[in-house]
Amino acid sequence: MNRNKKKLRETRIKRILLYNAILISLIFLVSITGYTSLSDIPVSTIKKPHKKTTREFCDAVNHRFQRFSWFKITCNPDRWEIFDYTSMGNPLFYQEFGFNNPDTSRPVNLMLCGVHGDEPIGIYQCFHMVREILFDNPELLTHFRLVIAPIVNPDGFFANTRYNANGIDPNRNLPTKDWDRSAYKNWGKYKKNPRKYPGKKSGSETESNFQTFLINKYRPDKIISLHAPLGFLDFDGPGDRKHHNLVRVEHRAKFLGLNIEANTNKFLKLVDFPFFPGSLGNYAGNERKIPTYTIEFATNDPFKGHEYWSKMRFAIIKALSFVVYDGKEKNVS
């Protein structure tokens, strides 16, 4: 017993000495380079994370899917286009479906999932939508075109955090016109909740740039973004917060929100939720008049993934097929 205690004590002493040596080395590095703190050391001197291949990334994603008992979906490394990499080296990927068809009358849709890493329930819906149009019902693409970004915030997904690896909320960092004026003021209203930190500068995050890239590249007719756990459907876009003198496209955009509500048997009730500086609803719906529908599931519980897909499938497919801008009125933004 005494011998074991002695070995344990020696192990602890070695660990303390090792930690002290590392700390002294860092302090020495700061002193000889002239920087006042460790945070002042240039990023170029810090070893950057390895950029994961799509296979490495999908292997990690599939392992997490198995933990959630998501056996009906899978991340296929050969299926995706890469926009860029996160600060942790995870690829930001997306795929377009139905764009090789010469018929351009079908509406263009953008579907965003996993913007907040601790809301995996939406990620299941995006991956199952891929399965739906590739394997189960490929004829759906005769009715719409679709771009899917299934994990917008992979660093947060693996860490189970709302924010990314830099501690910034990708849904408060988009470069909206009111960001400089209102982002920090609005954050203060929420007692500077670290989960909703907007960052020091709008558009500073790769995950934010990813969303704006997809919007600017594809100019979607509508956007569906999946979140949790507020338990409602929010609409931002033409006609939002307007109740009189609606033009035709405003009527159609608001009608689609009611249609989604009805097609889920009011599983999701349409509400008039405010948009925030740096949010998708503000950037796309308010400023660019792109009808943006935020689906807020009632729980983050990943084990409800397939149950929620069963409830939402019909409503999502009908929404993707719905034409808001039908040629009689056009979004010129």
Domain holding 119: CATH number? 3.40.630.10
Identify whether 224 is part of a domain.
Answer: yes
pTM for the model stands at 0.84
Confidence grade of residue 331 (pLDDT, cut at 50, 70, 90):
low
Q: Higher model confidence: residue 332 or residue 192? A: 192
Portion of the chain with pLDDT greater than 70, in percent: 84
| Pair (58, 27) in one structural domain | no
Would you give the DSSP letter of residue 273? P
Cis check: omega of the bond before 229, within 30 degrees of 0: yes
What is the predicted pLDDT for the residue at 175? 98
User: What's the pLDDT at 325?
Assistant: 87
Same domain, 178 and 151: yes
Amino acid 16: pLDDT: 55
In a domain, residue 180? The reply is yes
Going by C-alpha positions, the residue among 308, 300, 329 that lies closest to residue 117 is 300
At 236 the pLDDT is 96
Residue with tokens 């109740």: 243
Question: What does the pLDDT read at residue 241?
Answer: 82
Helix, strand or coil for residue 189?
Answer: helix
Q: In this structure, is residue 326 part of a structural domain?
A: no
305 pLDDT more than 50: yes
- For residues 31 and 116, state if they share a domain: no
Q: What are the tens digits of pLDDT across the range 22-51? A: 555 554 544 544 444 444 445 444 567 899
CA separation, residue 290 to residues 107, 223, 252, 267, 298 (Å): 12, 7, 12, 24, 25
> Is 153 found in the same domain as 128?
yes
Domain extent at residue 180 = 54-321
Q: How confident is the model at residue 7 (pLDDT cuts 50, 70, 90)?
A: low
34 and 118 share one domain: no
User: pLDDT (tens digit, 9 = 90+) per residue, 137-174?
Assistant: 999 999 999 999 999 999 999 999 999 999 999 999 99
Rounded Cα distance between 151 and 127, Å, is: 9
The lowest-confidence range among 29-38, 130-139, 323-332 is 29-38
Domain assignment present for residue 235? The answer is yes
pLDDT at 191: 87
Q: How far from 119 is each of 152, 234, 315, CA to CA, in Å? A: 11, 17, 20
* Residue 168 located in a structural domain: yes
Q: What is the pLDDT of residue 104?
A: 83
Do 65 and 195 belong to one domain?
yes
User: Based on the domain organization, do 133 and 244 belong to the same domain?
Assistant: yes
Are both 94 and 218 inside the same structural domain? yes
Task: Tell me: do 40 and 62 sit in the same domain.
Answer: no
Number of domains in the chain: 2
Residues 17 and 62 in one domain: no
Q: Are residues 128 and 104 in the same domain?
A: yes
- Residue 310 to residue 312: CA distance in whole angstroms: 6
Q: How many angstroms from the chain centroid is the CA of residue 197? A: 15
User: Is residue 327 a part of any domain in this protein?
Assistant: no
pLDDT for residue 10: 63
Give the range among 4-13, 51-60, 119-128 with minimum mean pLDDT. 4-13
Q: Which residue has the tokens 């989960």?
A: 195
Is 83 domain-assigned? yes
42-51, 91-100, 121-130, 221-230: least confidently modelled range: 42-51
- Note whether residue 303 is domain-resident: yes
Shared domain check, 6 and 98: no
Residue 196 has pLDDT above 60, yes or no: yes
What pLDDT sits at residue 245? 85
Alpha-carbon span 44 to 33, nearest angstrom: 14
Q: Are residues 158 and 68 in contact, defined by beta-carbon separation less than 8 angstroms?
A: no
Model confidence at 329, in pLDDT bands (50, 70, 90)? Answer: low
> At 59, which amino acid appears?
D
Q: Is the pLDDT of residue 328 over 80?
A: no
Question: For 187-192, what is the mean pLDDT?
Answer: 90
**Average pLDDT value for the chain:** 88
**Residue 254 clears pLDDT 60, i.e. is over it:** yes
